[in-house]
């Protein structure tokens, strides 16, 4: 059985939704983490190497960090249709956008929310005007004045069309619904629940 190491109102809340959507058997272990103000402490029961969340344990196999957990779970429960499998032409874009979320999108949001100035040239999300889009859909910077929005991803908008009848959300919905909300900074739960009763139950625990 999968154990989700969870602290309410943090990024681990998104995996309550994903596990429910997957119909996966799981248990929740509430853990403590260090707070933004320096109080609190990592929980010895938490297998995450930095004492953070999310992390899961699947019969002794430990996986941590959101993109890795999302990939592990959607591969383990392919019947959900939430993620393209090996051999699917959309698999490459799926992996790329999972990495983009953790490496670019979330750091960009957090630097803005926390008012941390990031020098241009050290991060791909720093504001600047752009040249025309490349074949991949990405644009490159010229000078530092204009904010660059990430391009739309066909694979993320197309996943839901291949899901089983009655399925209610894509992995993108689940990954961004709990968002990049730091521990202790407010409710990380979305304002509305999925149409499934399992996901609605997950909301009550997030």
Listed by start position, the domains of the chain span 2-82+163-205
157-184 pLDDT per residue, tens: 444 444 544 444 556 555 554 444 444 4
Q: How many angstroms separate the CA atoms of 165 and 50, rounded?
A: 40
Helix ranges (DSSP H) in 40-116: 66-76, 91-100, 106-113
- Catalogue the E-assigned strands of the chain: 2-6, 26-30, 55-58, 61-64
Q: Is the pLDDT of residue 100 over 60?
A: yes
Query: Cα-flanking dihedrals φ and ψ of residue 104, to 5°?
Result: -125, -55
Asked whether the beta carbons of 94 and 84 are under 8 A apart, the reply is yes
Q: Is the pLDDT of residue 33 over 70?
A: yes
Q: Is the pLDDT of residue 20 over 80?
A: yes
Q: Which residue has the higher pLDDT, 155 or 89?
A: 89
Comparing CA positions, the residue from 134, 136, 12 lying closest to residue 73 is 12
Q: Which range has the worst mean pLDDT, 34-38, 85-89, 112-116, 140-144?
A: 140-144
Asked whether the beta carbons of 182 and 116 are under 8 A apart, the reply is no
**CATH 3.40.30.10 holds for 2-82+163-205:** yes
pLDDT at 28: 98
pLDDT at 87: 96
pLDDT, mean of residues 118-132: 66
Give the CA dihedral 154, 157, 159, 163, nearest 10 degrees: -150
pLDDT at 128: 58
pLDDT at 127: 59
In the structure, what pLDDT confidence band is assigned to residue 118 with cuts at 50, 70 and 90? confident
Q: Is the pLDDT of residue 130 over 90?
A: no
pLDDT at 132: 57
């Amino acid at each position: 059985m999968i154990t989700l190491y969870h602290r309410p109102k943090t990024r681990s809340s998104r995996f309550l939704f994903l596990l429910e959507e997957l119909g996966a058997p799981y248990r929740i272990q509430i853990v403590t983490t260090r707070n933004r103000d320096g109080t609190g402490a990592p929980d010895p029961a938490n297998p995450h190497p930095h004492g953070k969340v999310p992390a899961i344990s699947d019969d002794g196999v430990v996986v941590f960090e959101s993109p890795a957990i999302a990939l592990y779970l959607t591969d383990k429960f392919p019947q959900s249709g939430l993620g393209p499998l090996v051999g699917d032409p959309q698999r490459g874009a799926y992996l790329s956008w999972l990495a983009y979320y953790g490496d670019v999108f979330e750091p960009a949001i957090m630097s803005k929310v926390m008012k941390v100035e990031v020098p241009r040239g050290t991060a791909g999300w720093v504001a600047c005007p752009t040249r025309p889009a490349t074949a991949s859909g990405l644009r490159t910077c010229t000078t530092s004045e204009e904010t660059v929005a990430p391009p739309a991803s066909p694979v993320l908008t197309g996943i839901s069309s291949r899901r089983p009848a009655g399925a209610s959300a894509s992995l993108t919905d689940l990954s961004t619904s709990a968002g990049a909300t730091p521990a202790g900074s407010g409710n990380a739960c979305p304002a509305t629940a999925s149409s499934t009763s399992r996901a609605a139950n997950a909301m009550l625990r997030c």
